[in-house]
Structure formats: structure tokens, C-alpha cells
Amino acid sequence: MRKKIIFQFILGALGLLVILPSLSSAKTVEEILADINKLPPAERNKQLEAGAKKEGVLKFASNENIELITLYHNAFAAKYPFLKVESWRASGAKGVERVVMEHRAGKLDTDVVAVPFEIVGYVKKQGVWGRYLSPELNHYSDQFKDRDGYWATNHYNIAVIGYNTNLVKTGEAPKDYPDLLNPKWKGEISIDVEPDRAVQGWLIAWGEERTREYMKALMHNGATVRRGHTLQTQLLCSGELKVAVEVYAYRVAQLRHEKNCPLGMSFPNPTPGSTGSEIGVNKNAPHPHAAALFVDFVLGTEGSKILAGTGRIPARRGVKGLYEEVSNLEEKGVNLLMIPVEQAGRLDPLAKKLIEEILIRRQF
């Protein structure tokens, strides 16, 4: 009996010796995708699709609105019918915290995660994303991708001064931020309760003291604080607002073209902007091949055209925006101030402090 137990123990030990090397040699998501990237383009795509077919699933989360998430979801599922595509909206701080908490607990089963620009540094620091250098990144300038391959974006957004052209004559419209302090606009100005993009731009261009004084001056001139950039654009359209300090350019163009809204926009100097939703592969993605296919799709021509079709401003070279007035802005002489992702995280606490102090608590 004793000999039998010893024999079984030896067999078990030998089994472990066979299994352990295979466990230790298991490749990480980063290693799998790095190896595939070494292949010629045709073979690379073949390997990715073969791997994705075996995985059978792609799950992604994004902070974008439901409309765009649905468009990506349906188009990707149609292109790769062998994949079951699942998606959910990681909206705002709660969505990001869910992603980070699941990652820390080792339970994040979402293959691809996209977050807002001001949260990128935090998500990267938490180690949620793994390196993936999609070949599609060759079609983007450096400001739209992480140099180490952790994230990338296919669009950007800018804040402009918006106004109702029926209520404000074009020649009298405010052209720059100081114009909004003119007493003739007293009580006629609206600003969002979360003007992060504009405030961060002001902090970069002007510094803290001038930004603080300017925000106070806006409030002294009767600026009304409202929630929702899209809502403000709609109120401009209906004539309930004359002027908005910082609304999104693509929304102004969209309502002007699709709803015949009497809207105009001025590009202040500088015009603050930021990269759009940043996308990256989960470091521990359960379906790495499908994840790579999806990132390639979003950053590629197909994904960029889908995005451009919503009116957003594409970052991929060679993809034209839907609306002429928000396309090729640098060539038109607009002084764009794109907020670097690296600075966004550092500036965010100060920007939020000023917003809370001046716009919300009204200490001016």
C-alpha cells in the first residue's frame, strides 16, 4: 500500500514537471500582439483573424455616446460575423472607476477600453492597458497616440464661442474671449458647469492668476452656468441663448446643417482642443486577437469614416470631416491649442478647483 502511494506521488510530481514549463511559457497579451506585428501585413491579418475565430468574442467599453458605440458595434460585428460583439458605456468617472476596480481585482473581462482625455494618465498609471502598436498608428501624428503604444485616438474636439445669428449680427459677434466681457453681453452669456477643456486651455495659455480673474469677470458680466454642452447649443438654436462661451464646434456645425439652426461660431485665440476618446487594449484581455482587430478597425479608415459621419473631427490623415467649417482648421489659420494628455492629468485638479470655486460656489 505504501509503495503504491509513493508511486502515485512520483507520477504526480512528474506530471507537474511537465505542466509547469508550459504554464511559465504562456505568453502575455503584449507578447502575443508584438509577435503578430512582426509578420508581413497579409500574414499578420490572417493570424489575427484565425486567433479571433478561436476566441469567438470581442467585448469593448467606451466613454463615447451610445450612438457612436452602436455604430462601431454593428459595423465591426458585420465585418467579423464569427465574433460575438459585446459593448457597454463606461460613462464619466463611475465608468472609469468600474474599469480600474475590476482590473485591480483581476476580473476585467473587457478586451478594449476607451476613456476621456483627462483620465488617460490615471488609467495608464493603473496598468489597465497593455502595449499594442497598431499599424494604423502610422496614419496619425504624435499628439494622437501614446509613444509607448498604450493608447490612441481617432478624433479630437475643440471648444468655440457659439452664438445665435438671428440675435447677434455677424459683424458684432464676439471673436475672442475678452470680447465676452463687454457690458453689452451682460446677462446674455452661458457657460457649461464642466468647461474642463476651455479652462485647461486658459491655464496653459494664460496661467492660473489670469484664468481665475477672467472666470470671475465672466461671472460679474452675468454669465449663466448650465449643464450640458449639447443643451447649450440647442438653446442657442432656439433663441433662448444669445452667446455661449465654449461649445463644441462639431455640434454647432451639425445643428446648423441638419436642423437649419441659425448658429455661428468664432474661433478664439487660442482655440482650446483635446484629443477624443482614447482607446487601448486591456493588458489582460481574454480575447487579444479580437481586441487587436477592433483597435485596428476603430483607428483604420472604416472606423474613422464612421466617426466622421457623426460630425466629429477625424484625426486620421486622409479622412475628411463631414462639415467644411470644422475641417483643415490649421490650414485656415485657426490657432489651435491642443491640450497634451500628459498635462491634462496635472491640470485637472486645478481646473476643477477653479470651476468649483467660481462657477458653482460663485465666489467672485
Helix, strand, or coil (residue 334): coil
Q: Domain 158-273+331-360: give its CATH code.
A: 3.40.190.10
% of the chain exceeding 70 in pLDDT = 93
Q: What is the pLDDT of residues 165-202, one digit of tens each?
A: 999 988 899 999 999 999 999 999 999 999 998 999 99
Gap between the Cα atoms of 321 and 246, Å rounded:
21
Q: Which SS3 state, helix, strand or coil, does residue 96 take?
A: helix
Give the predicted TM-score (pTM) of the model: 0.80
CATH dotted code for 28-153+276-314: 3.40.190.10
User: Where does the chain hold its CATH 3.40.190.10 domain(s)?
Assistant: 28-153+276-314, 158-273+331-360
The DSSP secondary-structure symbol of 152 reads: B
- Asked whether 278 and 151 are in contact (CB, 8 A), the reply is yes
* DSSP summary character for residue 160: E
Are 218 and 191 in contact by the 8 Å Cβ rule? The answer is: yes
Cβ–Cβ under 8 Å, residues 317 and 173: no
Mean pLDDT across 315-336: 89
CA dist 49 and 68 (Å) reads 24
**pLDDT level of residue 327 (50, 70, 90 thresholds):** confident
User: What pLDDT, on a 0 to 100 scale, did the predictor assign at position 22?
Assistant: 42
pLDDT digits (tens, 9 = 90+) for 110-159: 999 999 888 898 999 999 999 999 999 999 999 899 999 999 999 999 99
Determine how β-strand 336-338 pairs with β-strand 271-275. Answer: parallel
CA angle 72, 74, 80 (to 5 degrees): 95
